[in-house]
Amino acid sequence: MTSSDTGAPRRSLTAVVLAAGKGTRMRSDLPKVLHAVAGRTMLGHVLAAVQEAGATRVAVVAEPGRADVAAEIERMAPGADVFSQAERLGTAHAVLAARAALEEASDDVVVAFGDTPLVTAETFSRLRAPLAAGAAIAVLAFETDRPSGYGRVLTEGERVVAIREEKDATPEERQVRLCNAGLMALSGRHALALLSRIGNDNAAGEYYLPDAVALAAADGLPVVVVPVEEAEAQGVNDRVQLAVAEAEIQRRLRRSAQLGGATLVAPETVFLSVDTVLGRDVLIEPHVVIGPKVRIGDGCLLRAFSHLVETTLESGVDIGPHVRLRGGAVLERGVHLGNFVEVKNARLGPGAKASHLSYLGDAEVGAGANIGAGTITCNYDGVSKHRTVIGAGAFIGSDSALVAPVTVGAGAYVATGSVITDDVPEGALAIARGRQTNKPGWAKAKRAALKAAKAKKS
């Protein structure tokens, strides 16, 4: 039950997302947070999660001058505030780069990281929940038998008293198995005051966000731990960890697809995007890759080794194996595409078929049309793209080339092996190929001449 269900006022939430890290271990010219997982950038995953968790204001701390990061922020969180962090003096210093956002009244503040794409909206909601019950700080933490490298969450009885970075911890503190996951929620009443008091008297000389916990505890303010699985809280620092994050997101997406009514014959071989929409009774064979912006209607069959991106399949579509669907492909009800067919920026009407080895680009194919094997639409003249229109019920013979712009009328027939450069009227037959001529005995004489020439040369 939400606050709106009970009539209680909704608590405001400012989400501060730290996204200024250079990510040198990624060995990339692309900022770390813009590396993608399941068709969405890591930063995009985090921005989507905090907004789903109820963020009423989003503040992102980014590296100065990164137009690409700014564009992604605007795309995923329109209206978000972007703050620059020129110096990197620790996580608390980074959060305070968004001081202007913190100075405006907000019930809750959540600090997130742009390289933790596995943290769900539900976890962000759990993290902020204790603030409504009076906590000053809620810390996301996990238990592990291998705590090395993590900050330790220190307690006295039921009280959380501090978080200690490993390099500053005593030998006894390093035995603690409760580890800091990094993410934190702070009461809006106390956030700025606590953050402003954090110093840098530690081994690294940095301003640590977790030091807010000790300050709150010293002030007698309640601090609570919110548990999370270690795997969910993992950040991504290199491409090995990026692959681990991809595997986990794919596991979630496959499970959701199956529970939603889709059959994945070999789930571990199917790759989905976070925005993939699957209807009921969709059957996906092994080794199918679905990129961003794909919608698949009820009862569709995706055969093995097909690849789809920016595509819509209406109900009952049957494709593959080895079909490639690119941006702007729309397959209406009952369309069938067979092996090695590629479609780009084209709409195929109900019941249209292209069963073998064809390319349909920048085209409109009418209902019930049949596209023969080896047919291509020649849509590019070296400068501009042009459109091909194939009418309802038309039959395009195998190994035909349709040179756009061109229209084949409804019910028309294009003879096999034709190169069509002019419009074909409705119901007409178009033949555009040289007339066959047979020369009796030519082959025998030609072979004899070639052999004689070869013998003379040797």
Evaluate whether 192 touches 103 at the Cβ level (below 8 Å).
yes
- Cβ pair 43, 37 in contact under 8 A: no
DSSP 8-state secondary structure symbol assigned to residue 424:
B
Residue 392's contacts (CB-CB under 8 Å, 6 or more residues apart) are 349, 366, 367, 368, 369, 410, 411
DSSP secondary structure, 66-110, as one string: -HHHHHHHHHHSTT-EEEE--S---HHHHHHTTHHHHHS--SEEE
Rounded CA-CA distance 31/42 in Å is: 10
**Nearest by Cα to 197 from 61, 87, 93, 84:** 93
Q: What distance in Å separates the CA atoms of residue 27 and residue 24, rounded to the nearest whole number?
A: 6
Q: If DSSP codes are grouped into helix, strand and coil, which group holds residue 382? A: coil
Q: Are 415 and 398 in contact (CB under 8 A)?
A: no
Here the tokens at position 13 are 């939430």
Question: What residue has token string 């709409």?
Answer: 347
* Residue 152, H or E segment: strand 152-156
Strand partners, 17: 60, 112
Rounded to 5, what percent of the chain is helix, strand, coil?
25, 30, 45
Contact 110, 124 (CB under 8 A): yes
Count of all residues that appear for the chain in the document: 458
Per the annotation, the verdict on 93 as an active-site residue is no
291 close to 275: Cβ distance less than 8 angstroms: no
Q: Which pair of tokens denotes residue 7?
A: 């009539």
Q: Which residues pair with 333 in a beta bridge?
A: none
Are 238 and 246 in contact, with CB atoms under 8 Å apart?
no
Q: Nearest CA to 102 among 125, 128, 81?
A: 81
Q: Which two structure tokens, joined as six digits, stand for 259?
A: 């529970």
The pair of structure tokens assigned to 297 is 């209607």
Catalytic residue among 35, 45, 336, 356: 356
Catalytic residue set: 356
